[in-house]
Amino acid sequence: MLDKLKIALVLLVIGSMSGLLIWGTNELTADRIEENRERARLAVYVEMFPDVDVNKMVFDSVEGSNIVEIITMLDSDNNLLGYALRGSHNNPFGVVNVVIGVDRNNSIIDVKITETDNTPTYVSLLPNFLRNLRSQDIRDVSYDTSTGATSTYNSVRSIIEDAKLLVAGDTILEAYQEVISAAASYQLLFEFSDETFAIEYLIKDDAGQRIGYAYHATVDGKELALIVDQDDTFLGFVGIGHSDLDSAFTAFEDYQDTAIKDITLDVSGSLEDQIATVFEAVQTLLTTTMHATYDNLVRFFEVFDDSDELIGYAYIGRAEGYNGDNVMKVTINLDGEFVKLEELSTNDTPNFFDLAFSAFEPFYGQTSISQDDAIDGYAGASASGASLYLIISSALSYHAERMAE
């Protein structure tokens, strides 16, 4: 018994000493590890900007963006060399960290993935494609359409697009602010393929609250936006990055601050008539459909049968899939049951998207869907399936909330 006690005591002492040694080693090396990481980060910056004075680099944190830090690069004489932008984006396979170097003329010096837990085999395909980004103007980047590593490349693209706004300015937001001074950000809601107007954006204030919507179109080769507030009151037209149509916009000033559904236009002139066509198309959209104030949903509208009897509601939603956003229509009957799913647009790989799509057909007739129930059906197409689940479950939840009001 005494021998066993001695052995236990010895093991306790050895264990304690080992723990102390490990703790001490971690304490002694923690600073060195962080120092090595910092050197690795600086090495990326210096590789992109060989003339930079590392003691004069200015680091600024960024919030509300895929860019987390922007570093101003100066040489020893305080001449501006450009900017390095450190970004991070999460995709269905994990995080992608990127550094982008941009010179003072807005030309991309280089784009490097510094860290990612995406599948290494696919990530290894990207260096050649990232080299294609070099020397491009960050304000007008041309991306490769087929890389073999779609999800990782799309993360890089998202980071570059946010970098563009920080380096070159945001002409869209600046235009919105001419009409809605509180505009702080915007979010793509829908892209129309066969309408007079092309794109719908949601406008938010600095608290992330909805304060309006913008509908983009092209007239006489110039991009414009029709802007309404959150209640669809017409606020005016604005040119995107130009003032060439301002004189034509004056014909619509008398209609400002009026509900768009109550407006009957009376304007004349070649440009004015073209702009009026845009106005009337947006007016039709906003009087036949309603905004959906719910995550992953864009709008909804009533569905009627051939006898003009109301039989349900259709909800348009969008959520990130494997290769960009999937846009779907979800139809729900008057009993709150999910009865139909339709694809409006997708860039996901067809076989995987079709697998995910078919996984939800067995849920027709249900008033709710749990992800645990659905996930087995779209195994092997997880990114596509997760996006469809988000849209369908959001539509069912939002519909239930609306009906309960």
Do 164 and 182 reside in the same domain of the chain? no
Average pLDDT value for residue range 220-240: 96
Do 199 and 107 reside in the same domain of the chain? no
Residue 120 lies inside a defined structural domain of this protein? yes
Q: Is the pLDDT of residue 336 over 90?
A: yes
Do 341 and 377 reside in the same domain of the chain? yes
Do 154 and 98 reside in the same domain of the chain? yes
Q: What is the pLDDT of residues 302-320, one digit of tens each?
A: 999 999 999 999 999 999 8
Q: What is the pLDDT of residues 346-365, one digit of tens each?
A: 988 899 999 999 999 999 99
Q: How many domains does the chain have?
A: 3
Q: What is the pLDDT of residues 231-248, one digit of tens each?
A: 999 999 999 989 999 999
* Amino acid 42: pLDDT: 82
Q: Which residue has the higher pLDDT, 10 or 397?
A: 397
Q: How many CB atoms lie within 10 A of CB 97?
A: 17
Do 131 and 230 reside in the same domain of the chain? no
Do 188 and 209 reside in the same domain of the chain? yes
Do 89 and 124 reside in the same domain of the chain? yes
pLDDT band for position 381 (50/70/90)? confident
Give me the percent of the chain exceeding a pLDDT of 90.
69
Sheet holding 185-191, edge to edge: 185-191, 199-204, 210-219, 222-229, 233-239, 258-259
Q: Is the pLDDT of residue 223 over 90?
A: yes
pLDDT band for position 8 (50/70/90)? low
Residue 334 lies inside a defined structural domain of this protein? yes
Residue 112 lies inside a defined structural domain of this protein? yes
Q: Which residue has the higher pLDDT, 39 or 280?
A: 280
Do 262 and 354 reside in the same domain of the chain? no
Q: What is the pLDDT of residues 77-94, one digit of tens each?
A: 889 999 999 999 998 889
* Amino acid 198: pLDDT: 87
**CA distances from residue 93 to 96, 123, 154, 255 in whole angstroms, order as listed:** 9, 11, 12, 49
Residue 19 lies inside a defined structural domain of this protein? no
Give residue for tokens 């490097």. 112
* Amino acid 31: pLDDT: 56
pLDDT band for position 405 (50/70/90)? confident
Q: What is the pLDDT of residues 165-214, one digit of tens each?
A: 888 778 899 999 999 999 988 888 888 876 788 899 999 998 889 999 99
d(CA 121, CA 149): 9
Average pLDDT value for residue range 284-298: 93
- Domain closes at, from 286, 307, 331: 286
Question: Comparing C-alpha atoms, which of 310, 328, 292 is closest to residue 402?
Answer: 292
Q: What is the extent of the structural domain holding 208?
A: 171-286
d(CA 197, CA 96): 34
**Per-chain mean pLDDT for the chain:** 89
Average pLDDT value for residue range 5-17: 56
**Residue 67, domain CATH:** 3.90.1010.10
Global model pTM greater than 0.85: no
Which is it for strands 258-259 and 210-219: parallel, antiparallel or unpaired?
A: unpaired
Q: Is the pLDDT of residue 3 over 70?
A: no
Residue 34 lies inside a defined structural domain of this protein? no
Do 187 and 208 reside in the same domain of the chain? yes
Residue 123 lies inside a defined structural domain of this protein? yes
* Amino acid 7: pLDDT: 59
Average pLDDT value for residue range 221-230: 96
Do 188 and 147 reside in the same domain of the chain? no
Give me the percent of the chain exceeding a pLDDT of 70.
90
Phi, psi of 352 (to 5 degrees): -70, -40
Do 61 and 161 reside in the same domain of the chain? yes
Residue 4 lies inside a defined structural domain of this protein? no
Q: Which residue has the higher pLDDT, 397 or 374?
A: 397
* Amino acid 38: pLDDT: 62
Q: Is the pLDDT of residue 13 over 90?
A: no
Residue 45 lies inside a defined structural domain of this protein? no
Do 271 and 341 reside in the same domain of the chain? no
